[in-house]
Amino acid sequence: MGKIRILDEHIANQIAAGEVVERPSSVIKELVENSIDAGSTKIDVTVEEGGLQLIRVADNGSGMDADDCRAAFFRHATSKIASGKDLFRIRSLGFRGEALPSIAAVSKVECVTSAQADGLGSKIVIEGGTVKSFEETAAARGTDIRVKELFYNTPARLKYMKTVQTELGHISDYMYRLALAHPQVAFTLRHNGNLLLQTLGNGDRLQVIAAIYGSSVAKGMIRVSGENPDYTVSGYVSRPELTRANRSAVSVIVNGRYIRSHALAHALLNAYHTLLPINRFPIVVLHIGMDAALVDVNVHPSKLEVRFSKEAELVRFVEQTVREALQSEVLIPAAGKSAGAKTAVVQERIDFYRTDRNDAPLPPQQRMFTQAETEPREPWRPDEANQRNGNGSSSSHSPSVGGTYPVNGDKHRRRTEAASPQIMREIAPAADGENIPQAPAFPELHPIGQMHGTYILAQNEEGLFLIDQHAAHERINYEYYYEQFGNPAQASQELLIPITLEFTPAEAELLKERLHLFELAGVYMEHFGGGAFIVRSYPHWLPRGEEKSVIEEMADWIITEKKAVDLAKLREKSAILCSCKASIKANDKLSMAEIEALLHKLRACRNPYTCPHGRPIVVSFSTYELEKMFKRVM
């Protein structure tokens, strides 16, 4: 006799439960998804003790008639697909027909349901997979399912349950995603009698965002919308000052299903590019619509992961749509708003680059502005780099304004034309080589003065603006260097005395293989035996006095970067490196003319709102806010 036998339905359900019902939140997910599939407009979820005592989901959907009420608890019983063909065009959230039997196998279930408006329905009671009773009962149209004592008959699974708070965390997290995915449904979630979530079901996505993340977050969101023949993308993304320490507030919803997609999450972060501080993540609710044939949802029992048939195109489209939305906004955070209070300032990284040599004269290219040589007390020198290249003001690639500025008097005439935005617009790069529209509408600001040698104060009709001068200068320089690194070849200069760099033998081995990357960045370097390399030439526009350290840090990065190093990343990395080294630091006194020039250049930047590390550059106080503060208006 053979040893193989077909398992009975009871055991098969318990096995399936192991996969489908991992913890209380999985039960919630399955039941609520069923309610949504049934066309409900109101879904009330009640939970006790993290869902281990009770999970109740009551909806006003289609309900089930007596036959379906029984059949629903059989394995592979579903009303959602009829044939194999349907598998490739799934529009409902469920289709596998295993949730109800799996849940019923590991708990005590009571289901009251009615498909009519006549007040009559059915009630079925199942314990550990065995039907205990089935009867006619009074019921409103819709379905009301109670799941009690989850895992009561599977002690091994029960042992794995964490604290009530942890399980509740999973439950509310999933409820949030469902509510975000279905703003047309009015949800409530109650735990041990406390109302934890309530949405209106009026289709307003921002209302759901406000119900979950609070109204100040909802106010800080930017609308996203885009469409191409294959996809529609719509939703909300947070302004860059509104961030979280992890990705948990990123929700991607495909055809009404919350999914996890590494590729799409990555696309979103790419869209923000340098707008986000390091290790901070945005709040995103993105709905993606597509033909059901373009997405395979049958790759994972909980259907959280899906497979896209044209993933690369989708990723590109999402990134582009979100980036355009971000760039079409004026991204100045309002001062003192609670939304901004959660902004993380990653100061360590900035400090790392600070040299704090306030009294030493800085190399000219570390200066954005040039200063008349005759000016006393100011440590700045004329821009030698420009003189070396001939006429400074005709060099549109120069980071310097190329004019001379008076400190306070009328001894010199100002030459504002050299700092005109047009010129700067030319040198402002596309963030990653694509043709990206300029961020519009950075306001024209009139300088008031400088505070603590660190912040620039400026105004316009709208209000008061505070600008972090170091961050602003870093941004201007970053865009300049990014552009330069994109086209370094003709800009290299031979060195009379080559620079020598030393590395460990292991590092040298790695570096030898990646020397071509340096060449693409305009740095010509040769292996000199052992751990030594010599630099024969480098771009003349590297920050002066910092050339060696820039090249060294580029090499360090190339050596330590585990993943494939590509030119785009090297370009960005190097541009950040140079911009840090070349920027004015805090505690630098600026003249009015210098402040004006800085604002001018900032305005011409592609992204004038954050420094390359994602810190904000500008904060504002609106005139109205100020009037409120001083009780001039009520």
Residue 38 or 269 with smaller CB distance to ligand ADP: 38
Cα–Cα distance measured from residue 425 to residue 49, given in angstroms and rounded to the nearest whole number? 60
Under rule CB under 5 A, residue 143 binds Mg ion = no
Kindly give the residue spans of alpha helices, DSSP state H, lying in 261-357. Answer: 262-272, 311-327, 338-341, 347-353
Contacts 24+ apart (CB under 8 A), 443-449: 443/330, 443/332, 444/603, 445/599, 445/603, 447/592, 447/595, 447/596, 447/599, 449/592, 449/595
Cα–Cα distance measured from residue 132 to residue 124, given in angstroms and rounded to the nearest whole number? 8
Subset of residues 60 to 99 that bind Mg ion, contact rule: CB under 5 A: 94, 99
Contact yes or no for 108/147 (Cβ under 8 A): yes
Positions that interact with ligand ADP (CB under 6 A): 30, 34-35, 38, 59, 61-64, 72, 77-80, 94-100, 143
Residue 93 or 221 with smaller CB distance to ligand ADP: 93
x/- mask, Mg ion, residues 97-136, rule CB under 5 A, reads: --x-------------------------------------
Under rule CB under 5 A, residue 554 binds Mg ion = no
Least Å distance, CB 334 to Mg ion, is 45
The answer for residues whose C-beta is within 8 angstroms of residue 417's C-beta and 6 or more apart is none
Least Å distance, CB 108 to ligand ADP, is 17
Report the amino acid identity of residue 124. I
Residue 27 or 590 with smaller CB distance to ligand ADP: 27
Least Å distance, CB 489 to ligand ADP, is 59
Tokens of 372: 């008349």
Residue 184 or 459 with smaller CB distance to ligand ADP: 184
Residue 27 or 445 with smaller CB distance to Mg ion: 27
Cα separations (Å) of 571 from 278, 427, 488, 520, 525?
18, 15, 10, 9, 17
Least Å distance, CB 217 to ligand ADP, is 31
Least Å distance, CB 469 to Mg ion, is 58
* The entry of Mg ion, ligand ADP, none that residue 38 binds, CB within 5 to 8 Å by partner kind: ligand ADP
CA-based Rg of the chain, rounded to a whole angstrom?
31
Cα separations (Å) of 197 from 191, 209, 219, 432?
10, 11, 19, 41
Residue 62 or 199 with smaller CB distance to ligand ADP: 62
Residue 81 or 332 with smaller CB distance to Mg ion: 81
Residue 86 or 324 with smaller CB distance to ligand ADP: 86
Nearest to 442 by CA among 626, 601, 327, 603: 603
Least Å distance, CB 34 to Mg ion, is 4
* The entry of ligand ADP, Mg ion, none that residue 243 binds, CB within 5 to 8 Å by partner kind: none
* The entry of Mg ion, ligand ADP, none that residue 107 binds, CB within 5 to 8 Å by partner kind: none
Under rule CB under 5 A, residue 34 binds Mg ion = yes
Nearest to 86 by CA among 379, 293, 388: 293
* The entry of Mg ion, ligand ADP, none that residue 398 binds, CB within 5 to 8 Å by partner kind: none
Helices vs. strands in the chain: H and E counts, helices first = 21, 24
Between strands 42-48 and 186-191, the pairing is parallel
Footprint of Mg ion on this chain (CB under 5 A)?
A: 34, 94, 99
